Amino acid sequence: MDHHDVKNFKLIKDLNLINFGDTVVDVGACNGDYTSFFIHCLGATGKIYSIELMPQVYSYLEMRFGHFKNIQLINAAESDKTDIEDIYAADTNQMNNITGKYGQKIGEIRSITLDELLVNEQEISLIKIDVEGAEIKVIHGAKNILKKTKTLLLEVHQDDIWPEIRKILLEDNAFECYNVETDEKITKSSTTPYQCLCRRI
């Protein structure tokens, strides 16, 4: 956990973005810091989807959270299609990815879309996405579910995909978005934020 996560947790609490009984999604769960925070917010209520790419890290999540009845653990790559994606292992678990931007290819993993995974959900309180450069793939695979999502917390890793992401968030979904680091409202001309919080007001 780094200082960005600590700030995000405080922001989620201060804005009362998660309440008992809510459904939340952790895309790119890694070692489970956000999944653990979601448990703290929800207790035994609601539902948590915790999605992790790397099989070894997923095994750790199973040991850590497998006994919670309101958590669904998924070992897959969230993407824009139901298919197969390459896995690239980086120096730390936080940097494992499917884009090949860094790391070495170590194998393949099934990919699913958020629209497919969450098709039966009527409302999502919060989706957190931290996927090391595959953000646009995840968002393209969530066109339907974003319409049912109240809050999106997105970590953006590439400047070149930001204009398209910005358009999808602001124009296609009418989110009100903020740069978490600078606490500035994101507009159609805003440069790439590292942490982006989007809400339906």
**What is the predicted pLDDT for the residue at 197?**
97
Q: Are 175 and 154 within 8 A, CB to CB?
A: no
How far is the first Cα of the chain from the last one, in angstroms, to the nearest whole number? 29
The pLDDT value recorded for residue 4 is: 84
Assigned token pair, 177: 């978005």
43-64 average pLDDT score: 97
Return mean pLDDT, the chain. 95
Q: What is the mean pLDDT of residues 90-101?
A: 86
Residue 191: CB atoms within 10 A of its CB come to 10
pTM for the whole thing? 0.96
Chain segment 20-29, per-residue pLDDT in tens: 999 999 999 9
Q: What string of H, E and C letters represents the secondary structure of 125-173?
A: EEEEECCCCCHHHHHHCCCCHHHHEEEEEEECCCHHHHHHHHHHHHHHC
- 150-164: per-residue pLDDT in tens? 999 999 998 999 999
**Which tokens is 113 given?**
């879309």
